[in-house]
Amino acid sequence: MGYIEFLAVIYGKKAGKAMDNIEEKQTKWEELSISNDFLFGKVMQNPKLCKELLQRILPDLNIERIEYPELQKSINMDMDARSVRLDVYVKDEKEVVYDIEMQVSHTKELPKRSRYYQSMIDLQLIDKGQFYDELKRSYVIFICPFDLYGKGRHIYTFENICKEDGSISMGDEAVKIFLNAKGTLDDVSDELKAFLDYVAGKKPKDAYVERLEEAVKEAKKNREWRHEYMTLLMRDQENVKIGEIRGEEKMLLLMERLIEDKRFDDIARIKADKGYRQKLYLEYHII
């Protein structure tokens, strides 16, 4: 067996282990909770439940009603841009836009992901020829069972302000909020804390959360949603397989080029240094 064939076997085993880990993390439909993004999106199709949640997150707002431009809105700009599928996308009577995302995995990329989501939403809110001041206020809200910023807060709200004078707001009306179900500070209402405790896996503590619990139970009886969930799982699993295969093909091609050029030290480095690996892909024009 040659060196390249040996590497193919090794990395093939790693890809197999990665798929095994994904399958282990998949939760059975009957065991899903409100913290599952798919189920959360389905439950939030109830306008009363969704409106109440927004009021708990944003108590200073008076939201009379909400509407759903699209359920689990997908945004696909062009072939080269990364597509976005929003969990809950609603507007209120003032045309203010709210995107609510249930995020269980601590991927470390949520701040920039929120930036991307907000930009994609803005592109949907204004048409060619319209003025920029026609953009409405928008909120991108991530609900997380972990503390993204490690300060113990239940809620982190971000708006653009002047670095030199914090009293000056930029005025772009773009707001990003990260909720932490594991917060320890006394910084939110009892109502919002009751919801976040429920996300963290605790029993319902008030009437609203009890209604959420009942909605979750009813949602899991929906055979159509169950079939949709399983279809999405299969599709995501297939996408991971394709990504793994493409990634291994690129890695093996790069190693083959490095061996040809006798750059053996670089072979050892690219296994652990993703940034350097990407640099060499560009150097060798491997796409």
Q: Digits of tens for pLDDT over the chain (287 positions)? A: 454 554 555 455 444 544 444 444 456 888 999 999 999 999 999 999 999 999 999 999 999 999 887 655 656 555 445 566 788 999 999 999 999 999 998 888 999 999 999 999 998 888 767 888 889 999 999 999 999 999 999 999 999 999 999 999 999 999 999 999 999 999 999 999 999 999 999 999 899 999 999 999 999 999 999 999 998 888 777 767 677 777 888 888 888 888 889 888 888 888 788 888 889 888 988 88
- Taking the C-alpha atoms of residue 117 and residue 184, their distance in angstroms, rounded to an integer, is 28
Check: CB of residue 204 under 8 Å from CB of residue 210: yes
pTM attached to this predicted model: 0.74
Check: CB of residue 247 under 8 Å from CB of residue 255: no
Structure tokens at 250: 């690129």
